[in-house]
Amino acid sequence: MTGVNKNRILTGVGVLVVIWMLMNAYPVSATSIDLQPGSNEVVVDGNSLWVEEAPYIKEGRTMVPLDLISQAFQAPADTFYTDNGLQVRILFRNVTVFLQVGEQGAHFIKQFDQEAVTKMDVAPEIVDGRVFVPLCFIAQGWGAIVNWDDSTECITIQKE
């Protein structure tokens, strides 16, 4: 088994562990989120939300402002500096997600310190003074269904 295949398997296992941890968290009412890379309008449960910085595509992944994740998922988020640089902390249900700007590792810590570490395809980054994170990785990690419509280039997220 090559190192690349082994890493893919380990990444897949890590994502499954994260999804399991999150699916066993508190239930949340269904939510729909619709957005289009390049557009500042995001629709959450039929209500328009305007974001100052539009989502964009990086290496085939949609990057969104951290505050959009926070508002759309009703997940408190903050940033803080450590010796390693800028970290992002997002709380969703009873799970805290830690991301490092410029690093592809993600730490999911469930209540009572159960931790799962997995790797993202793209790292969070700062653009125009705002932190952007990979939407699909975070949404799917929280158990949401993410769909891409090729004809409209829109993303729909269904969260249960």
- What is the model's pLDDT at position 29? 43
Name the residue with tokens 């999150």. 22
Average pLDDT over residues 140-157: 90
Name the residue with tokens 């968290």. 25
Q: Mention every residue, 6+ apart, whose C-beta is less than 8 A from residue 116.
A: 14, 17, 18, 21, 107, 108, 110
Average pLDDT over residues 15-35: 55
- What is the model's pLDDT at position 28? 43
pLDDT band at 92 (very low <50, low <70, confident <90, very high): confident
Specify the pTM. 0.77
Average pLDDT over residues 136-151: 89
The answer to whether residues 126 and 101 touch, using CB atoms and an 8 Å cutoff, is yes
C-alpha distances in Å from residue 33, one per residue of 48, 62, 72, 89, 160: 10, 14, 7, 21, 12
Average pLDDT over residues 97-120: 87
User: What are the two backbone dihedrals, phi and then psi, of residue 93, each rounded to the nearest 5 degrees?
Assistant: 55, -120
> How does the average pLDDT of the chain come out, rounded?
82
User: What are the two backbone dihedrals, phi and then psi, of residue 141, each rounded to the nearest 5 degrees?
Assistant: -60, -25
The answer to whether residues 63 and 132 touch, using CB atoms and an 8 Å cutoff, is yes
